[in-house]
Structure 1
Amino acid sequence: MSTFSFHANKAVTTGEGGSASTNDAELAATMRLLVNHGMTPEEPYVHRILGRKFRMTNLVAAVGVGQVQRWDDLVAARLRVSERYRELLPDACSGPACAPWARRSCWLHTIRVPRRTAVVDRLRGAGIDARPIWPALDRQPVLAHVSGNFPVAHAIAGAAMWLPTYGQLRDDKIQYIAEHVTAAVTDVGPGEALSHA
């Protein structure tokens, strides 16, 4: 099964929501039940399983279809922003690997910085919507029962942050953000060099 988020900050958006796809007929039937209160069209108001109301409206679907038709342009616009960050932040590493059969895309440009909280605070003080990435999954209360040692996940979750990455971000704004990232990293003190995650 593949899942897709259509949240407002995604390249293809319907404002909120998402979709799932599968080539497994049984799984597809279960998903259809789940999104429609556990009912089938053949037996309305008979709940075969405990479902929810996850149906997408036709209006929202039309917005999504319009976005999908612009896929190449939307992805290219975000890649332009990401590549510009790489140019303006020259101490960055080469970036994420991409399989030979795949094409790179960018949701949010991610960097790792020393003393991330201080860097994020400095950027927000300059009017830049920088955000720390999510905590490692085993640090989420719902997964508190998971045991194990995940040093890489913890290191990334503690140092990585997102920079504004929407397709219409103007070059002068990207320049402004990059300058403030460099200044913030310099000012907060010693640590690892800036790198793109």
Structure 2
Amino acid sequence: MEPLSVFRESKFLYSGMQKEVTPFIPQTAPSYGHKEREAIDLYLQSNAWLTEFEKTIAFEQEIAKRATTTYASVVPNGTIALFLAFTALGIKKGDEVIVPNLTMIATPNAVQLAGGTPVFADVDSESLCLNPDEVARLITPRTKAVCHVSLGGRVGRMESLMELCREKGIPLVEDAAQAFGSSHRGKPVGSFGDIGIYSFTPHKIITTGQGGALVTNREDLYQAIERLKDFGRLQGGGDHHDHLGWNFKFTDLQAVLGLVQLENLDERIDKKREIFAHYQSQLTDVPGVTMLHTNLEETTPWFIEVFVEKPLALASFLKEQGIGTRPMYPAIHTQPIYAHIQGEFPVSTHAGAHGLWLPSSLSLTPSEITRICNAVKEFLRFV
């Protein structure tokens, strides 16, 4: 019997001739409320400048404080943050940057935008972060940076990667777009490399609509980033430009939103960990579904990923049950734009082909998680 036909008949409870339809659960949704609306309203009433100014500076200071870095610079989005990181490090045509083969496509695209060539390394199976052994194998005289991606808020084998980069004299960039609020051995993720970046898009733990940040302890990199994002100007403004640069400035309007969101960041982190723990308790021992081991003392899970044999069929079934999902990123070398990439990438290929993100919004309730998990279990009974 075709399993989905069974599900189609059983997905509603009947009351006479009426079907009781349960509310749709989105895979993710932004989290904001009256405090954000009030703060933006007050700011607009002040006839302020709107563009990057005092509120932006305050937001940067708070980001640096959370990252425990000396400097922070906010920009329009995480992709631009990566581009500026690579450009500040001097990446140019002919230079190679090693990136994971399992990541959002912005990571390798930012390397190309800076003029470099992305070189893809497989990830380790426990964290889906860069495998340092694969990175070591790919280093050549053309390697000018390594970009670690904290996929889902995890860090993987960070110490081994840092040691390798130190030995080879290669800068380490942290794409921590999904890891704001995560830590590793007591240190914030994003603060391990020469430069770290964060993203504040709507499904991140805090959002400014769009937005990104770079953090670093190196003054030379900070000064380079500040020039690059402001038309190559010397510090202090004016129209004297001694470097190439662009307009990648932030806005105070976004900063107002971000500052309010930061006020309850710790509560948001606790909620994300609580959501993951609920899923973990209900799915860990279920045959046919795998979840990654996650240290909830330090990791702030971004999304809830599960690995199943038929993720698209599960996604289709859950959609019929009123539950939103999202397929995990496909391995980069399977993307049409990077189809020319040669090599074997067994871990990232498997993860990209079998991973599915379940709902993880901050508004998710325990009863909704139970509903989702029960639906997953029902699907797996028939496949």
TM-score where L is the length of structure 1? 0.83
C-alpha separation in 2, matches of 1:53 and 1:175:
47
Question: Unaligned 5+ residue runs, structure 2?
Answer: 1-194
Q: Is the 8 A contact 1:38 1:51 kept in 2?
A: yes
Q: 13-22 or 48-57: which moved more?
A: 48-57
Q: Secondary structure at the match of 2:381?
A: helix
Q: Is the 8 A contact 2:269 2:300 kept in 1?
A: yes
Match of 2:354 in 1: 159
Match of 1:103 in 2: 298
Say if 1:46 and 1:136 are closer, same or farther in 2 by CA, change over 3 A.
farther
Shift of residue 130, structure 1, vs aligned partner: 0.6
Say if 1:160 and 1:41 are closer, same or farther in 2 by CA, change over 3 A.
same
Q: Percent identical across equivalent pairs? A: 27
TM-score where L is the length of structure 2? 0.45
C-alpha separation in 2, matches of 1:76 and 1:122:
30
Q: 25-34 or 171-180: which moved more?
A: 25-34
Is 1:175 the equivalent of 2:370?
Answer: yes
Match of 2:266 in 1: 72
Q: 75-84 or 139-148: which moved more?
A: 139-148
Is 1:30 the equivalent of 2:252?
Answer: no
Match of 2:343 in 1: 148
* Residues 130-163 of structure 1: CA deviation (Å, up to 9, x unaligned): 1111111223345445432111000001101111
Q: Is the 8 A contact 1:3 1:19 kept in 2?
A: yes
Shift of residue 9, structure 1, vs aligned partner: 0.7
C-alpha separation in 1, matches of 2:325 and 2:359:
6
Shift of residue 116, structure 1, vs aligned partner: 0.9
Shift of residue 106, structure 1, vs aligned partner: 1.2
Shift of residue 88, structure 1, vs aligned partner: 1.9
Match of 1:139 in 2: 334
C-alpha separation in 2, matches of 1:28 and 1:141:
35
C-alpha separation in 2, matches of 1:13 and 1:156:
27
Match of 1:84 in 2: 278
Q: Is the 8 A contact 1:114 1:185 kept in 2?
A: no
C-alpha separation in 1, matches of 2:360 and 2:319:
15
Q: Secondary structure at the match of 1:154?
A: helix
User: Which letter maps to 2:255?
Assistant: A
Greater Rg by CA: 2
C-alpha separation in 2, matches of 1:142 and 1:37:
30
Question: Unaligned 5+ residue runs, structure 1?
Answer: 190-197
Q: Secondary structure at the match of 2:305?
A: strand
User: Which letter maps to 2:211?
Assistant: G
